[in-house]
Structure 1
Amino acid sequence: MYKLAANDGMSLRVIVVYRFMFATVIMVPLALIFERKSLKKINRKVLLQAFLCGLFGGSLVQNLYLQSLVHTSATFVAAMINLAPAFTFILAICFKMEKLAIRTNAGKAKVCGTLMGIGGAMVFTFYKGIDINIWSTNVNLLKHHHHQQVGPGPSYHGTGHFIIGALFGLLSCVSFSLWLINQAKMSVGFPYLYSSTALMCLMGSIQGTLYAVCTVRDWNQWKLGWNIRLLTVAFVGIIGSALFVFLVSWAVRLKGPLYAAIFNPLGLVLVAIVGSLLLDGTLYLGRYNGGKMRPNLER
């Protein structure tokens, strides 16, 4: 959805703003209906935690994620999420929310899983590999939206841009892990899922708006019509933010931040499959699963 809106000429930063605005509009009424008593529990500490959640899990992580998408591809950025369990595990240990317990079977499994996640991400990044021809649907939604390039131009495929994109993807992964840690702490003193999600989305929309207003000079970017732009921001706002944040917060409260992070690698598989089916992308083994899929995703 991000790719379609960006190829239609919409600024990625504006997409982030509308995303959290739509999520806020959905979650605030739900919070007022189901958790009205939570209003009395909101204090400075809760607002600070909501601000940090909105930053690390909202505006910052999304803008870093999308900048990484500009310089690499949807599949590669999804692959970087494989590092989220590793960063979350390390941060959880630092904040004393998890125990290493290397002598136990559970501790050994966590360490091995962390190393496997890092190793898999590195292989994906640096190994070229061969193409994988499983299916061909000849469906390319991007061919109907060709107003501008998402990448920075002819030098887009250079190593320099790829490294920059990988760095942005890495930082977005760290930001996501920090959100899970902060969300776990917030859920202890403020166990209201609808309200915490609404506060986070509200903070994310405010932060994203301030950033976008300072960096996007073309006010036409903010216009929405009955087109792919409206569909994208509505979809990623309602599903990608409101529902997603609510479910992840629920999982964090029940099982902790590490448990919620370990499911992120599934995104790589889903994005690769859907991208090849709907965006006419070719699957490649290794790093160029994202790299050589990129020309089709970017045209």
Structure 2
Amino acid sequence: MAMRSEILRKEVLPFAAMIVVVCMEMATSTIAKAALNSGLSPLIYIVYYNFLGVLFLLPGFIIQRHRRHPLPLTLYMLSRCLILGLLGTCVAVFGNQGLNYSSPTLSAGISNLIPAFTFVLTMVFRMKKFEVKRRTWQAKSVGTIVSIIGAFVMTLYQGPTILGSSSILLPQKSLLSDEYSSRWVVGGVMSVAAYLFLSVWNILQTAILKNFPEQSTVVFFGTGFTSIQCAIVSALVERKLDAWKLQPGIGMAAIVASAVLESLCNQNINAFCLDMKGPLYVAMFKPLGIVIAAILNLLFLADALHLGSIIGSIIVIVGFYMVMWGMWREAIIIVEPLDIVRQSGDANETSPLLQK
């Protein structure tokens, strides 16, 4: 019974949690895209939903800090949360600007670059060794290159419309096709930048949680610093007071939904899974987002599904699973010798013939 509950906690619970996270991420992107199409400024949207998210996170932070023997809030921990907030600001600004210029389907497809970015970053920071002769290293390297090629295909090649029509999103597309294509490319580049910062954010948050395992506190300070930094950036860019006024409608609904789904739910669930399984496990579920995003966009936004997005998504997913195969094989190579040693130790303890 104890073993079954342990498997449920360590395997089934994170798996189900990440499925929920991906669904909520795609729902948030779809609602945000509808709000941005209505004229809401991406920067103002980021500020409002982050500040509202901080208010939602406050009760959890207070409850955790009033438990017995809470960990001390050191300057070192707060400084790391400040950096985490800065990375979150870059993710939010680039991600929402990219979403504004392109579509949730393109953003979801490019998000599959996260495991490739994570692999490259571990090499750059010497967290992993260059082992060119090993098959697992070769698979991860080739998979990384394939994923990057797929992202370039999605960004630079739009292609003919396969499903849906983008006329609702951009009525002037037929008249300004060059401008539309350039916006698509800019949106893709911004999404790539956002997911590069997100890869670093995942690695840093995992490191923080190892030294400071209070998820609600880390999420609260990370979101709080992101809110302050986004407000500063937005105040410098959006200087018209009329742009900051919210009217009842899709914009306000998107802000509330993003605060609940993204800041409150996703951030805490993400922290839980990062702490338990690590950043690569979290990245494994990104390909699911393409399917969900495409369905939601066709149903609610009348967004077009282009041939370039389909081809690029397939290429990215192939590269993604090459990287995952390499990591899976490495895990088996590491675990098998440990199992042999453990079994040998058990045999020495239980067999009377081996005892002196």
TM-score by length of 2: 0.69
Q: What's the counterpart of residue 221 of structure 1? A: 243
> Which residue of structure 2 lines up, in the alignment, with residue 3 of structure 1?
33
Equivalent of 1:121 in 130, 134, 151: 151
Output the CA distance in 1 between the equivalents of 2:180 and 2:38: 24
Q: After TM superposition, list the pairs within 5 Å mapping 1:136-147 onto structure 2.
A: none
Alpha-carbon distance in structure 1 between the residues aligned to 2:160 and 2:41:
34
Contact 1:84 1:176 survives alignment (8 Å): yes
Instruction: Report deviation, 1:93.
Output: 3.1
The match for 1:178 among 197, 200, 205 is 200
SS in 2 for 1:286: helix
Larger radius of gyration: 2
CA distance in structure 1 between the aligned counterparts of 2:222 and 2:124, rounded to whole angstroms: 24
Deviation track 1:121-146 (CA, whole Å, cap 9, x = no partner) reads 2333344555434xx7x9x9x96xx9
Shift of 1:182: 0.9
SS of the residue corresponding to residue 212 of structure 1 reads helix
Q: 1:15 aligns with which of 45, 50, 68?
A: 45
1:19 touches 1:234 (CA, 8 Å); kept in 2?
yes
- Change in CA separation of 1:245 and 1:108 when aligned onto 2, cut-off 3 Å: farther
Q: Deviations over 1:230-252 (max 9, x none)?
A: 21111111112221121222222
Deviates further, 180-189 or 124-133: 124-133
Indicate yes or no: 2:113 matched with 1:83.
Answer: yes
Residue 93 of structure 1 aligns with which residue?
123
1:52 matched to 2:83? The reply is yes
Whichever residue aligns with residue 120 of structure 1, its letter is: G
Gapped regions of structure 1 (runs ≥ 5): 291-299
Q: 1:162 to 1:243 in 2, by over 3 A?
A: same
Deviation at 1:159, TM superposition (A): 4.5
How is 1:204-215 mapped onto 2 (pairs within 5 angstroms)? 204-215=226-237
Q: Secondary structure at the match of 2:308?
A: coil
Contact persistence 1:71–1:156 (CA under 8 A): no
Counterpart for residue 74 of structure 2: 43
Over the aligned positions, Cα root-mean-square deviation in angstroms equals: 3.2
Matched AA of 2:201? W
1:257 paired with 2:279, answer yes
* Contact 2:34–2:301 (Cα < 8 Å) also in 1: no
Aligned partner of residue 285 in structure 2, secondary structure: coil
Q: 2:199 matched to 1:169?
A: no
Q: 1 CA distance for matches of 2:150 and 2:224?
A: 35
Residue of structure 1 equivalent to 2:17: none
Cα offsets for 1:66-85 (capped at 9, x unmatched): 22223322222222212111
Match of residue 295 from structure 1: none
Matched-pair contact (CA < 8 Å) for 1:75–1:289: no
Counterpart in 2 of 1:73? 103
Bigger proportion of residues as helix = 2
Is contact 1:201-1:242 (8 Å) kept?
no
1:184-210 Cα deviation digits (max 9, x unpaired): 111121111111111111111101111
- Deviations along 1:69-105, one digit per CA (max 9) or x if unpaired, are 2332222222221211111111123334455656666
- The count of aligned residue pairs is 280
Deviations 1:276-299 (A, max 9, x none): 111112322224899xxxxxxxxx
Q: Which TM-score applies when normalising by structure 1? A: 0.81
The code of the aligned residue for 1:238 comes to: V
2:5: which partner in 1?
none
| CA–CA separation in structure 1 for the residues paired with 2:142 and 2:35 | 39
**CA contact 1:194–1:246 (8 Å) conserved in 2:** yes
Determine the C-alpha separation between the residues in 2 that align with 1:190 and 1:171.
Answer: 28
Which residue number corresponds to residue 254 of structure 2?
232
Task: Output the amino acid matched with 1:26.
Answer: F
Q: Identity rate of aligned residues, in percent?
A: 28
Give the Cα separation in 2 of the matches to 1:194 and 1:200.
10
Residue in 1 that maps onto 2:26 = none
Cα 1:16–1:125 change in 2 (3 A) is same
Deviates more, 1:102-111 or 1:273-282: 102-111
Corresponding letter in the other structure for 2:238: V
**Which residue of structure 2 lines up, in the alignment, with residue 28 of structure 1?**
58
Shift in CA distance, 246/214, structure 1 to aligned 2, threshold 3 Å? same
